[in-house]
Amino acid sequence: MTQPDSPSGGARTVRIPDDRAGQRLDNFLLGQLKGAPRSLVYKLVRSGQVRINGGRAKAERKLEVGDEVRIPPVRIESPQDAGRSPPKAMLAAMEASIVFEDARLLAINKPSGVASHGGSGISFGAIETMRVLRPRDNLELVHRLDRDTSGLLVLAKKRSALTELQRLLREDHGSGIEKRYLALLVGRMPDGVMSVDVPLHVGLRQGGERHVQVNAIGKPSISHFRALERRDGQSYCEIRIETGRTHQIRVHAQHIGHPVAGDDKYGDAAANKRLREQVGLKRLFLHAATLEFALDGGKAPYRLNAPLVPELIDVLDRLG
């Protein structure tokens, strides 16, 4: 797959095989340049040091079979080289968070506050820490969770599982994978299922922070909210999402007037303060609970579950 590109002084050229077709250039480079921060990958692409078939390309470019990607020589200092590794407490917590593992997948119940991957000043996210714990496995993120969201995060051990799951995620309205979350929403939700079908647009605030809004120019986004029970004027809900947009549940919940409890970006500041003081809610009450899908063209069904974490159970108990 790889051949030397000697005239470029250490650069190498990689020809894209069948199982990488459709992968974004930035994600492909992260796999090729193990340990490289995203900021470095984007810098290499922007500066034109990465080339596809001899020409410049954008980070979101989808690769095609036979594309030739020039990758410049990069010295990446591993955490071991730099004398750094994930803290022992984080390694222990992530080892304890494993809820499922077989020959091709590993699933964890990601704690709130842990990023899916490193970058933006974060040395170790979930994927980097799990790679330290499983050095013989070639682990790759199948999808991502917001840093503040806890719950099910799936890592692929085999490239074939990664590509099939990513294809299922790309299918229209996420029909290939069923994703369910648990959340505490502010206020009393009506009975039955409330479906929200409004487009979401990702914008940037000053400083580069992502902020998502309901906007007609955005991407189609569909969520289904169902109240499971009501506690002290709040609604404990299950949410099924058909699309996986950035901050989708949080913005859809805000849009219907029932923001996610503890959401400091899209939520109700007064309600958050009250819940923090009265029942000790110090984080976003949003948890990725289940994923259902089938691999091998539908022949191998999976139903993965991440139990609600203790600090959220305690909040529900205190609400009474």
Residue 71 · residue 12 · CB < 8 Å? yes
What pLDDT digit, counting tens, does each position of 154-204 carry?
999 998 999 899 888 877 555 689 999 999 999 999 999 999 999 999 987
Which residues are CB-neighbours of 301 under 8 A, at least 6 positions away?
Answer: 292, 293, 294
CATH of 88-162, one of 3.30.70.2190, 1.10.287.130, 3.30.1060.10, 3.30.2350.10: 3.30.2350.10
pLDDT band at 305 (very low <50, low <70, confident <90, very high): very high
- The confidence score (pLDDT) of residue 260 equals 98
- CATH T-level fold of 174-319: Pseudouridine synthase (3.30.2350)
What pLDDT digit, counting tens, does each position of 71-98 carry?
998 876 554 444 468 889 999 999 999 9
pTM over 0.95: no
**Number of helices (H), then strands (E), in the chain:** 8, 16
Tokens in use for 62?
A: 């989808």
Residue 243 has pLDDT above 60, yes or no: yes
Candidate ranges 27-31, 44-48, 247-251; pick with highest mean pLDDT = 247-251
Residue 7 has pLDDT above 90, yes or no: no
- The confidence score (pLDDT) of residue 5 equals 42
Residue 185 · residue 225 · CB < 8 Å? yes
Tokens in use for 244?
A: 């996986």
102 catalytically annotated: no
Residue 251 · residue 214 · CB < 8 Å? yes
Q: Of the residues 5, 67, 146, 263, which is catalytic?
A: 146
- Domain positions in the chain: 2-71, 88-162, 174-319
Tokens in use for 196?
A: 């929200």
Residue 285 · residue 261 · CB < 8 Å? yes
Q: Spelled out in words, what is the top-level CATH class assigned to the domain 2-71?
A: alpha beta
The CA-to-CA distance between both ends of the chain, in Å, stands at 59
Q: Do domains 88-162 and 174-319 have the same CATH topology?
A: yes
Residue 230 has pLDDT above 90, yes or no: yes
